[in-house]
Structures are given as structure tokens and as C-alpha cells.
Chains A and B, each alone.
Chain A
Amino acid sequence: MSIRLHEAWSGRFGAILAVAGSAVGLGNFIRFPAQAAQYGGGGFMIAYFISFLIIGIPLCWSEWTLGRMGSRYGYHSSAGVLHAILRSPWAKYVGALGFIVVTLIYSYYVVIEAWCLGYAVNAIAGTFHTGSFDSEAFFGSFAGLGQNGASVGFGLGDIGLFLILAFALNFFFIYRGVTRGIEWVCRYALPALVILGLIILVRVLTLGTPDPAKPDQNVLNGLGFLWNPGDIGTDLLNPQLWLAAASQVFFSLSIGMGVIITYASYLKPKDDVVLSGLTAAAANEVCEVGIGGLMTVPAAYVFLGAAGVVGSTVGMGFVVLPQVFTFMAGGQLFAILYFGLLFLAAITSSLSMLQPGIALLEEGLGLRRQASVTVLGVLTACGAGFVWYFSQGLTALATIDFWVANVLIFIQATLIVIIFGWVIGVDRGLAEARRGARMQIPAIWGPIIRYVCPLYLGAIFFLFIINKVIGWNFQFGDKLEIERSSYVTNLIGPNANPVAIASVALILALSAATFVIVRISARRWDKHLTATKP
């Protein structure tokens, strides 16, 4: 019986590019600027960088180290890696979250990826530059917001063709394997998206004052809208700001998903994890703060003013910006570049969501590549099909996003850092991280990983639950309000939404099936672990 798959990154830059590619996604160019603008630049950036140092870096190093430890035993899935390292009956179930989270996120992320591809093709076709173009109506029709099943179509203004194309591209590359698939895509896509981002950035920063009748709507004021500090002292007392900043660091760095554990498991035993982890995180930050933070909000501000910038993350990317490109000189070209950039960012991230599943199916059930790709393809096609069909108000997408990409990720990240800091032990964990390291881990990170990070994660998760689930607005006295979030009222009570309930049922069904797969896999792994030594 062979569990070892003999796949590995081609060189030291392979893993860094792949992890950076996984991290650099839609959140860098849409979510980050929207959040920073909403919470007032200064206070948000302080909370953001504190979260980066206290949660981001420790979790990156923990996941990179756990992954490389797993490679010594020949395992690549989170479940296999944790089972092999810890040899505890519960470890494989913690690792199972790594499969559940990414598979469910992929099921809606690929739909958003299809939006990006569809918008890029529509930009090429000149759809945004027709006289009667209404970005809100176009997005509503394209994504099928009006009613369930409305987006099921295969024309230029429908999502179907682009979803199939995005899905097929993902599975083509994942079938080619770690080096010829994921690494190959990241090697070209990551530099390409940085170049595209810089071209658009130069265009945005040279927009000046496009409408002389509105002198206030200029680039400098657009930058100020995002970066002016506001009342930092008051802002930092707002728990929602800390929640938003910590969540952004999570989504942005792809931590707490199990992706990094899987990617790092394709390293060689003495490959560096400390500097590689930090480099991948830093590359993500450059794209997020250096490109995303300077590009999106100022572009929207100079054409639409402050009122145009306010809105949801999805609204910013797919309603506000297409409208901006209709006003911009050379807007068609820049719309093509922008949505091309978003598509490249999305595909490098979505590929990373498939590899943990492939790894689990191959090493857990002994499937060959073709079979594992087919099984995962069918599974994710069901999920994506569900999100695609139940498009009304994006309820299915938002429900899965909330319970998986918010709640489950926090739980998984907290468990990973507790495993690294307490179960394995921070001394042993950091000693393992230092093997082959090209830089020292400063001593301060020992207590941060052991004490500060779990406490900080726990506090943020507590705030998240009381704000987003229970509905407390963090005010006292007369201002105190408790309004149940729609994520809860959609599930329980008179206004329960059948699509939201079905979405949660989908999460539970996949979770149950994964726990069964992991239980079966553990028998196979136990035989392998007793027969071989690392």
C-alpha cells in the first residue's frame, strides 16, 4: 500500500508563488479597500497591521510548519497531516475541517470567478460602453438576483458559459498536478496580475480632476477618502473595526483554511518555511495595500463622489467599477485589464481550494488522480450548481460564505494555533520551524503563538458571534439594540428562508460525509504509519 504521492514544488520559489497566489485574491482588490474606507483609514490600518502581526504571521508559520512536518510522513491533506503528527483520535476530525471549508468556499468562489471572467469578456465585447448601459441592472440580470434560476443561461449576459469555462480551467490545472498545474499557473498569473494592477494604478493616479465642474472629486481627495485617519482614538474603541480588520487578514492571507498546510506538505524536509511563509504573506500585503488600497476607491471617488464609494464588497467590484469605466477615458481597455486581473487573482485562489480535496481523496481513499479529480469535480459541481441556481438575492452564496468563510474558518484557525502552541508545544513547534530556516523567528513570537494569538482569536470570535449572530450593536443604555442578523432569522422563525435552510443543510451534509471519509481514511493511515517510519 502506497500513500506517498511523490509530488513536490519544483524549487524554493514554487511554494512561495503558490501560497502567494492562493492568498492574492478578490479580497485584495475589492474587499480590502471597501473595508478600509468604511471604517476610516487610520484606525482600520492600525487594527489591520496588529492583526497581521498577531494572527497572520503566527498562523502562517504554524500552518507552513505543520504542513512540512506532514510531508515527512508522506501526507498532504490537513486530516492526514494532523493524524500523522498527533496520533490522536480527534486530530483527523480537526483536519477534516480543512476539506469542508475549502470545498464549500470553492462552490461559491468559482461562481464569483465566473462573474470576473464574464465581465472581462463583456468588457472586450464593449457591453459596458453601450449608451444605455446600467451597471446595477446588468449585474442583477447577470447574477440572477431577481429570482432563482434567472442566471441559468448561456449568452454573453448570462453566467452559464463562464461558469463552465472557469470550472473546466480549474479542474484542467488541478489534474495536471502540483508542479505542472498549480505552480505553472501561479508562475505566470501572479506576475501578470501585478503588472495589470500597476498599469491600472498608474491610470487611476493620473486621473486628476476628470470633471472640472466637480473640483472636489479628484485623485488626492479619493486617496484621502480611504487613507485620512479620522478619529483614531474613537475608531479603535469600536469592536466592529477590530472584527473587520481581523477578518480581512484571515481572508486575505488564506489562513485557517488548511490550504497552507497542504501546500507546505509538498516541501522537502529541509526546505525553509519561516522566510518562505513571511515572503508569501508580504507579497500578499503588497498587492493588497500597495495596489488594491490605492486603486479601487480613488477610481470610484473621482467619478462618483463619496456616495458612489459606499456599498458592499460585491457592489464595489461589479456595480460601481463597471460604471466608473464607462466615464473613464480608455475605459474599455481598463475594464478588460481590471476584470482580467480579478480573474487571474481568483483562479490562483480557487486552485488552492481544490488541492486539499484532491490530497484527501488520494491518500485517504487511495484514489488515483483521475478518480479523485472526478469525485471532487462532481462534489463541487453540485455545490456550484446550487449557488448558481439559487441566485435570488445571493442568499445561498451569502449563507455559505457566512457560516463557512466566517464561522468555520475562525474555529479551524483557533484549533490550528492551539495545536501548534499547546498540543505540539511552542518549543517543539518553533524548533521544527527553524529547520532549514533562512531567518530566525524572533523570540517574541513564542509567547505570541502560545498565548496572545489564541486569546486574540477567541476575543474576535466572541465579538463576531455577539455582533453577527446574537445581533448586539456594541452600544449601551438608550443606544443598545439587539437585532438578530438575517443569517439567523433566515434559518429560524417566521421569516425563515428555504434557500438559506437548504444551504446550511448542504454544509451539514458535506461535513457528515467528510467525517465518514476521514474515519475510513484513518484506518488506512494507521496501517501505513505502523508499517513505515518517517
Chain B
Amino acid sequence: MSIGGWINLILSLGFVLGLFGWCIWRLLYARSAPQEEHLAHIELVHDEKKRAKKR
């Protein structure tokens, strides 16, 4: 196998294993992101824009 082949193999394998490992780590140790207030804010901004358009 050529050096390019090794690089290709290591990068591909590293990417999928790294991604999977990171996902499992997040699943086991991360808490839910508290974003609902933030979402409500986004929706209100949209509502404001719609109202402004109607006016």
C-alpha cells in the first residue's frame, strides 16, 4: 500500500471513529442545551416582522 493509501485509510478511519467516539461521549456526559428561551425569541422576531409587513 502506498503512502497515499495509508493517509487515505487513516484519515477516513480516523474521521468515522472520531465522530462516533465524540457522539458517544456527548450522549453519555452532555446535558441538553437550554435553548428554548432562545427559540421563543426567534419566533417573536418573526412575528414582529410579519406584523410590520402587514402594517
Q: Are B16 and A286 in contact (CB under 8 A)?
A: yes
A272 CB to closest chain B CB (Å) equals 7
User: Which residue from chain A places its CB closest to the CB of B11 in the assembled complex?
Assistant: A45
A290 touches B4 (CB 8 A): no
- Nearest Cβ on chain A to B30's Cβ, whole angstroms: 5
In the complex, chain A residues whose CB is within 8 Å of the CB of B42: 427, 431
In Å, the complex CA distance between A427 and B38 comes to 12
Contact partner, B8, options A16, A229, A275, A288, Cβ 8 Å: A229
Q: Are A229 and B26 in contact (CB under 8 A)?
A: no
The reply to whether B33 and A439 contact each other, CB–CB distance below 8 Å, is yes
Report the minimal beta-carbon distance from B39 to chain A, rounded to whole angstroms.
Answer: 5
User: Of residues 240 to 270 in A, which have CB atoms within 8 Å of B's CB atoms?
Assistant: 270
Q: Find out whether the CB atom of B9 lies under 8 angstroms from the CB atom of A437.
A: no
Bound-state Cα–Cα, A188 to B1, Å: 36
Q: Evaluate whether A282 and B16 lie within 8 angstroms (CB atoms) in the complex, with A223-B1, A431-B39 already known.
A: yes
Taken residue by residue from 19 to 53, chain B's Cβ proximity to chain A (1 for < 8 Å, 0 otherwise) reads as: 11001101100111101100100110010000000
Whether B4 pairs with A438 at a CB distance below 8 angstroms is no
Tell whether A289 is near chain B: CB-to-CB under 8 Å: yes
Shortest Cβ distance from B43 into chain A, in angstroms? 7
* B20 close to A282 (CB less than 8 A): yes
Q: Do residues B35 and A434 form an inter-chain contact, with CB atoms below 8 A?
A: yes
Inter-subunit contact B15/A290 (CB<8 Å): no
**CB <8 Å contact, A220 and B1:** yes
Number of A-B contacts (CB under 8 A): 95
What range describes how many residues of B lie at the interface?
20 to 34
Within 8 A of B (CB), among A463-506: none
Asked if A275 and B23 sit within 8 Å, CB to CB, the answer is: yes
Contacts of B15 in A (CB 8 A): 49
The docked-state distance in angstroms from the alpha carbon of A283 to that of B1 is 27
Question: In whole Å, how far is B28's beta carbon from the nearest beta carbon of chain A?
Answer: 10
Would B33 and A440 count as touching, CB distance under 8 A?
yes
Do B16 and A285 touch (CB < 8 A)? yes
Q: Does A424 contact B (CB under 8 A)?
A: no
Residue B20 contacts which of A49, A283, A428 (CB distance < 8 angstroms)?
A: A283
Q: Judging by beta carbons under 8 Å apart, are B19 and A228 in contact?
A: no
Q: Does A12 contact B (CB under 8 A)?
A: yes
Q: Is the CB of B5 within 8 A of A278?
A: no
Taking a contact as CB atoms under 8 Å apart, the answer to whether B9 and A435 are in contact is no
Interface residues of A toward B: which range?
35 or more
Inter-chain contacts of B27 with A (CB < 8 A): 12-13, 16, 275-276, 279, 438
B12 close to A49 (CB less than 8 A): yes
Cα distance A42–B5 in the bound complex, in angstroms: 8
Shortest Cβ distance from B9 into A: residue: A227
Task: With A275-B23, A431-B42, A435-B39 as known contacts, state yes or no: A227 contacts B1, CB within 8 Å.
Answer: yes
With beta carbons under 8 angstroms apart, the residue of A229, A286, A288 that contacts B17 is A286
Q: Could you tell me if A438 and B12 are in contact, using CB atoms closer than 8 angstroms? A: no
Give the chain A neighbours of B46 by CB distance below 8 A: 427
Nearest Cβ on chain A to B51's Cβ, whole angstroms: 17
Q: Is A221 at the interface (CB under 8 A from chain B)?
A: yes
Sample of 17 further A-B pairs with CB below 8 A, known A42-B4, A45-B12, A228-B4: A42-B5, A220-B1, A224-B1, A227-B1, A227-B8, A229-B8, A275-B30, A279-B20, A279-B23, A279-B24, A279-B27, A286-B16, A289-B13, A435-B35, A435-B36, A438-B31, A439-B33
**5 closest residue pairs by CB, A with B:** A224-B1, A279-B23, A228-B5, A282-B20, A285-B16
Q: List residues of chain A with CB under 8 Å of any chain B CB.
A: 12-13, 16, 41-42, 45, 49, 220-221, 223-224, 227-229, 270, 272, 275-276, 278-279, 282-283, 285-286, 288-290, 293, 427-428, 431, 434-440
